[in-house]
Amino acid sequence: MQTVTRNQLVEKAKELLNNGTVTRVLGIKKGEFSYDLTPAVFTSAEELEKEFEFNGFAAANFSKYLVKLADGEGKILVFLKPCDSYSFNQLLTEHRFNRENVYAVGIECDGFADYKKIEEEFNDGIKSVEFNGEKIEVTTLYDGKKELAFADYMLERCKNCKTKKIAAFDELLTENSDETKNTRFEEVEKLEAMTPDERYAFWRNELSRCIRCNACRDVCPACTCEKCVFNNPDSGVENKAIQNSFEENMFHIIRAFHVAGRCTDCGECSRVCPQHIPLHLLNRKFIKDINSFYGEYQAGAEVGNRAPLVNYTKEDIEPKDAVGRGSEE
């Protein structure tokens, strides 16, 4: 359940629009149901009143949109959750948008709900979902009302939330927090503890579902190449559809590798995957390795940090000592 309310955000947005600080507001628009929220740009108080929405499903990371939107006329207001703020800094580090054109308001975050998990619970149509404190009230089409505990139906990334600290803002709407948690590598460790055969079987099962829709890549705030190798017929590795297990592995290894050291672990890739492949487990493996080989590093913690893969020390670990280290610890 979010402590920040929709009305708070709308009031703030209206205030900043009215006093001329910003000309546009990047927010979320209502959908047909409570869960189908779409990021959108608002330019007037009326629009905000009418269509702005913010609830327990408003998990989308806004930062990538700034690459496109920060070029417009006047400043754009963006609400940054902790996750978004790291992506925000990382994009600034890579000079992907102009900071001057953005007004960032930091908002605290208490985690978001995973619609898929709620849906699995019923095998039924879901009429509406209401967030009420620690509870989620679900009205189904055929089975009446059900109450669920919010904590059990959070997105994976929120359950293992790495930090509640907002890393970038011009203004804070709520308190900033230093709360951090270190549970996010548990799944990775479980995999590392398996035998290679088990790991191979695990990933085959997961990756073989991939339909190569590219949603994981296109939603990723770290994936901002103008032209991806996988879309470029001249690259020699372009592939529109997956032909076999090799291409599944290749796409997912390269996707994760290309954002290694730049991935802030915002979890959008896993959230949007239509096949529910736990893609974050690839990214987190890289993060965990980077932390253990080269020292703790959080991408996007500060603007201008040098990413681990474009950096080195003379004493770095040798690949032969590095490989498989996780599983031997």
Partner 1 sequence: MKKILKKNLQNLFAAISKETDLFLPVLNSAKNAEFKKWTEGTEYSEELNTVRSAKDFFFPQTENICDFKTSGKNIEIIENSELPENFAVFGVRACDLKSFEVLDNVFLSEPVDSFYKTRRENAVIFTMACNRPKETCFCHTFNINAADPKGDVECFEDETYVYLNPLTQKGKDLLNKVTSALEDETEEPVKKIKAEIEERLKNLPLYNLSAESFGSDKTEEFFNRKEWDELSEACLGCGTCTFVCPTCQCYDIKDFNTGHGVKRFRCWDSCMYSDFTKMSAGQPRTHQKERFRQRFMHKLVYYPTNNNGMFSCVGCGRCLKKCPISMNIVKVIKKLGGTANG
Partner 2 sequence: MQVNEFKPKIVAFCCNWCSYAGADLAGNNRLNYPDNVKIIRVPCSCRVNPMFILRAFQRGADGVILCGCHPGDCHYTSGNYYTRRRMALLFSMLEYLGIEKERTRVEWVSAAEGAKFSATMNEFCEQVAALGENKRLEDLRCKQ
The residues that touch partner 1, with contacts defined as CB under 8 A, are: 31-33, 35-41, 60, 65, 120, 123-127, 141-142, 205-206, 209, 211-215, 217-219, 227, 231-233, 238, 240-243, 271-272, 274-277
- Strand stretches in the chain, DSSP E: 24-29, 38-42, 76-80, 102-106, 126-132, 135-140, 145-149, 171-172
Token pair for residue 146? 């059900």
Q: Which is nearer to partner 2, 71 or 316 (CB)?
A: 316
Would you count residue 260 as binding partner 2 (CB under 8 A)? yes
Q: Which is nearer to partner 1, 124 or 170 (CB)?
A: 124
Q: Which is nearer to partner 1, 140 or 298 (CB)?
A: 140
DSSP, collapsed to helix, strand or coil, labels residue 170 as coil
Binding partner 2 by CB under 8 A: which of 196, 233, 295, 304? 196
Q: Which is nearer to partner 2, 201 or 213 (CB)?
A: 201
Cβ at position 63, least distance to partner 1 in Å: 13
Q: Which is nearer to partner 1, 124 or 302 (CB)?
A: 124
Q: Is the CB of residue 146 less than 8 Å from the CB of residue 140?
A: yes
Would you count residue 186 as binding partner 2 (CB under 8 A)? no
**How many helices (H) and strands (E) are present in the chain, helices listed first?**
14, 8
Residues 208-237 that bind partner 2 (CB under 8 A): 229, 237
Gap between the Cα atoms of 30 and 50, Å rounded: 9
Would you count residue 277 as binding partner 2 (CB under 8 A)? no
The residue range among 24-32, 62-70, 126-134, 317-325 that interacts with partner 2, by the rule CB under 8 A, is 317-325
Q: Is the CB of residue 274 less than 8 Å from the CB of residue 215?
A: yes
Residue 74 C-beta-side C-alpha neighbours within 13 Å: 13
List Cα–Cα distances, 270 to 47, 141, 275, 283, in angstroms: 31, 28, 9, 10
Gap between the Cα atoms of 248 and 239, Å rounded: 10
Partner whose binding site includes residue 212, from partner 2, partner 1, none (CB under 5 to 8 Å by kind): partner 1
Would you count residue 250 as binding partner 2 (CB under 8 A)? yes
Would you count residue 185 as binding partner 2 (CB under 8 A)? no
Q: Is the CB of residue 143 less than 8 Å from the CB of residue 124?
A: yes
Residues 120-139 that bind partner 2 (CB under 8 A): none
Partner whose binding site includes residue 293, from partner 1, partner 2, none (CB under 5 to 8 Å by kind): partner 2
Gap between the Cα atoms of 283 and 255, Å rounded: 9
Give CA angle at 225 (219, 231), nearest 5°: 85
> Which residues bind to partner 2, rule: CB under 8 A?
191-192, 196-204, 229, 237, 243-244, 246-247, 249-250, 253-254, 256-257, 260, 282, 285-286, 289-290, 293-294, 308-314, 316-320, 322-327
